[in-house]
Structure 1
Amino acid sequence: MKKKQAEKIKTYGPKGFREKFLGEDNPIHLLFKSNSDHFFCLEIEEIMQMQHPVPPSKHSCHTLIFISSGQHVMKLGYQEYVTTDNEMIMVPAGQIFSLDNVNNIHKGYICQFHPDILIRKYGSRELLNDFDFLKISGNPKIKLAAEDIAPITNILERLKKEYSETTITDLNIVQSYLITLFYEMNKNAVKTVKNISAAEVLTAKFKELIHDHIKTQHQVNYYSSLLNVTPNHLNKCVKNVTGKSAVKWIDENILLEAKYLLFQTTLSVGEVATQVGFEDQSYFSRFFKKTEGISPIRYRKLIDKS
């Protein structure tokens, strides 16, 4: 990584956090060599200087984190994942994530890449169906078997070399390494597409649909019609699988999307309300306060002061 990039990242701290995140000094943006490649791979200790909470956020790229030593805690949606020695976690593009506490990471790698890299010369959208961890409804966490640690580390080292030691990144090489990496990861991945019940299949499809339509559709019957089941059947399946009703899933995803927009954009509260499907700003504010405990204006002010 260039010295200039490293110095900028080290100065990134809690003061003016939201302004930094929205501006050109966003440390993730600084790591991309150009706006066209959207790729980096580095040892995690090189960039994990941001030891402070991150409110609900999302990125247009996939993010892969491999912890060889230490611990990493993050939430994907409302689910908390603790990643420790020789474990990996994938944050799919568009997945809302948050960091609530300081991480204790000693060694590992972080790799971020745009989804388009995977469908270049050697790939296809059909190929990506083989990798459950790239899906919003998939299992994002992988525990590596002892014999798979070295091969995966070697691939990550090659990706890091391609990023760090070349002036112009060859995305065809990056794509080849990534696909090889994913098949190595698949040996250890917990598959959610085999040996699961009809209710689990329906719930996974429901989660994917929420991700795609939450900005405009808030009714259970809309999703049940897309899935060709009754609202009652959808609610029952989702509740049995997750412990939460379909209505609860919809409300939580509306709230997450709103919190992401309040943090990661300069949209007004009224514009945020419109973006998440509320025509009435006052109704949106009541919904936000009921579910979060504070108003959207107060929520943004708290972030600005952090």
Structure 2
Amino acid sequence: MQETKGLLDKIKHHDRLDITVNENCKIKIPDDILEKLLRPHKLAHYCFIFLDEGTETYKVDLQDITITDSQLIFGLPNQVFLNPPKSSHSLNYKAAFDENVLALLPNSFPFLLDPLNTNTITFGPDAKERVKSVFSNLFQLLHAAGKQKNTEIILAHLNTLLTEFNSAYFGQSNQDNLPNPKLAKYIAFKLAVETQLTEQNDVHSIAGQLAMTTSSLYGIVKEFSGVSPKEWMTNRLMLEAKRKLQFSTLSVKELAYELGFNDPDYFSRLFKKSTGKSVSAFLADHHD
């Protein structure tokens, strides 16, 4: 498992912004960085790959995800990501940036919390052309000869690009571009779990933080995820456990304590129930 903290700084395409944009791999990536990107790595930034033509299969948190023409795949900080081998048959645009760049943008983008549990976005013909155009403009701005463009121009284009992503993300699932009240509550639930992941909060306490009853929270989480709030919280903890097992050499006891469990044996039973494998069997199957 490769760590990518600090990697973006080595390949960024702007002197003041940690951002990189590539068009059909025109900008060569240093061999040592490419080696990391072609192995499973834990993301420390946001990454986006838009496929104009072709078919490519990526792996996100152990799941194979195939995209084709007019589709985009994205990876979020802390996800375990694996790029496919370089293909000469695909035409794509790639972008990556960190939290500091995101914080400079005027809009918020709920899709980055992945409320619909999908790392892919599909664009219609018109949206595809707009996305390609903005990607191309960003690429030209970042790689034009001479003095780089003002950061405000770069950020304005990036804001437009993410607005297109956000609209298509919700539009492909027949949701409004801006979250409806239920979806907003579901996003708030996910964010609350993320920010308190290892505190072992129960459903009642999370519902109280969101000014909801447990039954109304149950209905919303079930509607958008297909599972109960308790199951969702457990699944999220087990996902974090699987990420850490790929990335580190923690013992079961150390891993349990790091995730907020006081009883390592209970954690082991929960992990096996959730994944169908013991911790040792999981490690054997996914050892680098």
- Highest relative contact order (Cα 8 Å, sep 6+), 1 or 2? 1
- Note the residue ranges of structure 2 that are not aligned, 5 or more in a row: none
Matched residue of 1:215: which SS? Answer: helix
Judge which range, 98-107 or 198-207, deviates more: 98-107
| Matched letter for residue 274 of structure 1 | Y
1:179 aligns with 2:159: yes
- Map Cα deviations across residues 12-44 of structure 1 (whole Å, 9 max, x no partner): xxxxxx2xx1489x9877534799843222246
* Separation in structure 1 between the aligned mates of residue 128 and residue 180 of structure 2, nearest angstrom: 32
Alignment of 1:70-85 (within 5 A): 70-73=54-57, 82-85=66-69
| Matched letter for residue 157 of structure 2 | Y
Residue matched to 2:278:
295
Q: How many residues align?
A: 276
Instruction: Tell me the CA shift for residue 178 of structure 1.
Output: 0.7
* Separation in structure 2 between the aligned mates of residue 60 and residue 229 of structure 1, nearest angstrom: 33
Residue matched to 2:189:
206
Instruction: Tell me the CA shift for residue 225 of structure 1.
Output: 1.4
- Provide the identity percentage: 22
Match of 2:268 among 275, 285, 295: 285
Going from structure 1 to structure 2, the CA distance change for 1:218 and 1:80 (only over 3 Å counts) comes to: farther
Match of 2:126 among 147, 157, 174: 147
Residue matched to 2:72:
88
1:230 aligns with 2:210: no
Instruction: Tell me the CA shift for residue 273 of structure 1.
Output: 1.7
Alignment of 1:16-55 (within 5 A): 18=1, 21-22=2-3, 31-32=11-12, 37-43=17-23, 54=40
Going from structure 1 to structure 2, the CA distance change for 1:290 and 1:29 (only over 3 Å counts) comes to: farther
- Map Cα deviations across residues 56-102 of structure 1 (whole Å, 9 max, x no partner): x65232212201112345576798764321122333444x3556988
Residue matched to 1:259:
242
Instruction: Tell me the CA shift for residue 261 of structure 1.
Output: 1.4
Alignment of 1:241-260 (within 5 A): 241-260=224-243
| Matched letter for residue 107 of structure 1 | L
Residue matched to 2:111:
133
Judge which range, 261-270 or 222-231, deviates more: 261-270
| Matched letter for residue 133 of structure 2 | N
Residue matched to 1:60:
44
Work out whether residues 91 and 134 of structure 1, in 8 Å CA contact, stay in contact via their aligned partners in 2. Answer: no
Residue matched to 1:216:
199
> Please, what TM-score do these two structures have when normalized by structure 2?
0.74
* Separation in structure 2 between the aligned mates of residue 23 and residue 59 of structure 1, nearest angstrom: 6
* Separation in structure 2 between the aligned mates of residue 286 and residue 244 of structure 1, nearest angstrom: 20
* Separation in structure 2 between the aligned mates of residue 136 and residue 167 of structure 1, nearest angstrom: 38
- Note the residue ranges of structure 1 that are not aligned, 5 or more in a row: 1-17
Going from structure 1 to structure 2, the CA distance change for 1:269 and 1:167 (only over 3 Å counts) comes to: farther
> Please, what TM-score do these two structures have when normalized by structure 1?
0.70
* Separation in structure 1 between the aligned mates of residue 181 and residue 246 of structure 2, nearest angstrom: 37
Instruction: Tell me the CA shift for residue 145 of structure 1.
Output: 3.3
Work out whether residues 186 and 220 of structure 2, in 8 Å CA contact, stay in contact via their aligned partners in 1. Answer: yes
Instruction: Tell me the CA shift for residue 252 of structure 1.
Output: 0.7
Instruction: Tell me the CA shift for residue 242 of structure 1.
Output: 2.7
Work out whether residues 133 and 140 of structure 1, in 8 Å CA contact, stay in contact via their aligned partners in 2. Answer: no
Matched residue of 2:54: which SS? Answer: strand
* Separation in structure 1 between the aligned mates of residue 16 and residue 256 of structure 2, nearest angstrom: 32
RMSD, aligned CA: 4.0
Residue matched to 1:270:
253
Matched residue of 2:114: which SS? Answer: coil
Matched residue of 2:211: which SS? Answer: coil
